Amino acid sequence: MTDLFDPLELRDTTVPNRVMVSPMCQYSCDARDGRATEWHHVHLGSRAVGGAGLVVAEATAVEKRGRITPEDLGIWNDDQADALARTTRFVKEQGAVPGIQLAHAGRKASTSRPWDGSRPLYPDDGGWEVVGPSGDPWPYEDDDGERVDAPPTREMDQGDIEQVIDSFRTAAERARDAGFEVAEVHAAHGYLLHEFLSPVTNHRAGDYGGDFEGRTRLTREVTEAVREVWPDGKPVFVRISGTDWFDDRESWTVEQSARLADRLAGIGADLIDVSSGGIAPGSWPEQAGPNYQLPLAETVRETSESDIAVGTVGGITTPEQAQAVVANDRADLAIVGRQFLRDPYFGLRAADALDATDEVTGPPQYRRGFGF
C-alpha cells in the first residue's frame, strides 16, 4: 500500500489517508454574523470530493471578540453550528473526515480582511474590544513600514480567562453536535493561546505567565476543556507554532514545543499539528521553501517522551513530497494548505501520480479524469 494512502487510526476514528486539508481562513461570512455560507460549503466539500482524508474548517471563533475580522466563521451560537451541519454531512458522504479548528484571535482581532487592507478596526468602525495576555497591541504598519494607531489591547483578568476556557468548551460541544469528528485547538500563529505561550507577548506574573508552566497553562486548560466534552472515540488535535523564529530574544522554541506536546498528550490530545511563527512582525524564517517546517515536526516527534502523533504543514506542493513525509516516517500526517487552494483535487491527483488509484475510491463522476 502507498504510505500516503494508508489509513490513520486515532482512537476509534479512521482517517482514510494521510492527506489533511489545512484550516485556511476564508473571511467570507459577508453578513458578519459568523454563519457559514455557500462559499464555505463548496470550499470544504470540494476538497472532500478531491480526495483529502481529513478536511478541517478554518479558524472558527469561539466567541464574538475572538474573530480576526468581522467576516470570520464563528461557532459561539447554535445558529452557526446548524449552518455547518450540512457541510459535515456532505464531507462524510465523500468518505472524508470533517474537522474544525477552534480559535480565538487575541490581540490580532478586530481587523479588516486581507483584501481590504488588514487594517485595525476601532469599535466605531465595525471593530470591537481586543484582549490579550498583556496590554501590548499588535504593532500594525502601513505599506511604507510606518506604525499605525490601533485600538488598545486590554490585559485579560481571571474572569476573561475563565470565559475563554468556557467558550472553547461550549464551542466544542456545538461542533460535536454539528457532526465534526476532529476538533483542533488553535494555539499557533500569534493568536490568543500562542500569545500566552510565548514570552514575546506574555508579560504576566502569576498563574498564567512567567515560566513554562504558567505560560502553557491556558493552552493546557483549553485542551482539557475540549477533551472533556469531545467524544472518547474521536481525536483532539492542537496546532502550535513550533518556534517563534527569534534567536535574539526570549521566545517560544521547538524544545518547549516538545515539552508541551508531552503535557498535551497526558490530558488526551491525539495529534500535534506543527506550524510556526506569527507571534510578531518578523516571526518567520528567512526562507520558506518546500517542507520548511518539517524539521520542527520531526523534532517534536523525536524528542517528545510520548507517542503522540504529529502532523507537518508548510510548503507541501507535490504528491511525491507528501508521500515522502509519511513513507520516511517523518510525520504521521501531511497537512496541505495553499496547494489545495490551487488544486482542490490534490488528493485524487496524488493517487494518480503515485499509481495508487486502486487504494482510493474517488467519486465515480470524476474517476475518468484521474486514471481510475
Q: Give the burial string for 160-178 (b: 16+ CB within 10 Å, else e).
A: ebebbbebbbbbbbbbbeb
- pLDDT tens-digit readout, 272-327: 999 999 999 999 998 889 999 999 999 999 998 999 999 999 999 999 999 999 99
- C-alpha cell recorded at residue 183: 476538533
Contacts of 6 (CB under 8 A, 6+ apart): 17, 18, 326
Backbone angles phi, psi at 55, to 5 degrees: -115, 115
Residue the block writes with cell 508579560: 203
Mean pLDDT of the chain: 96
Residue 308's SS3 state is coil
pLDDT, residue 83, reads: 98
Residue 205 lies in a domain: yes
Residue 163 is part of a domain; what is its CATH number? 3.20.20.70
Residue 1 lies in a domain: no
Q: Which residue out of 27, 140, 191, 208 is catalytically annotated?
A: 191
DSSP β-bridge partners for residue 15: 8
AA letter at 101: Q
Residue 233 lies in a domain: yes
Contacts of 227 (CB under 8 A, 6+ apart): 236, 267, 268, 269
Angle formed at CA 9 by CA 99 and CA 180, multiple of 5 degrees: 20
Is there a contact between 5 and 51 (Cβ–Cβ < 8 Å)?
no
**pLDDT of 359 strictly over 90:** no
- pLDDT tens-digit readout, 24-83: 999 999 999 999 999 999 999 999 999 999 999 999 999 999 999 999 999 999 999 999
Domains in the chain, number: 1
Half-sphere exposure in the Cβ direction for 179 (13 Å, CA): 17
Contacts of 42 (CB under 8 A, 6+ apart): none
Residue ranges of E strands in 7-143: 8-10, 13-15, 19-21, 54-61, 97-103, 130-132
pLDDT, residue 102, reads: 99
Residue 3 lies in a domain: no
d(CA 304, CA 325): 18
Is there a contact between 220 and 268 (Cβ–Cβ < 8 Å)?
no
d(CA 139, CA 14): 43
d(CA 260, CA 278): 18
Is there a contact between 138 and 147 (Cβ–Cβ < 8 Å)?
no
Residue 306 lies in a domain: yes
The closest of 239, 316, 307 to 277, measured between CA atoms, is 239
pLDDT, residue 160, reads: 98
d(CA 44, CA 41): 6
Residue 298 lies in a domain: yes
- pLDDT tens-digit readout, 157-179: 999 999 999 999 999 999 999 99
Burial class (CB in 10 A: 0-12, 13-18, 19+), 2: buried
Task: Determine whether 191 is an active site residue.
Answer: yes
pLDDT band at residue 221 using 50, 70 and 90 as cut-offs:
very high
Helices (H), the chain: 38-49, 78-93, 158-177, 192-197, 212-215, 217-229, 254-266, 294-303, 319-327, 338-342, 346-353
Residue 266 lies in a domain: yes
Residue 126 lies in a domain: yes
Task: Give me the domain span that covers residue 208.
Answer: 8-369
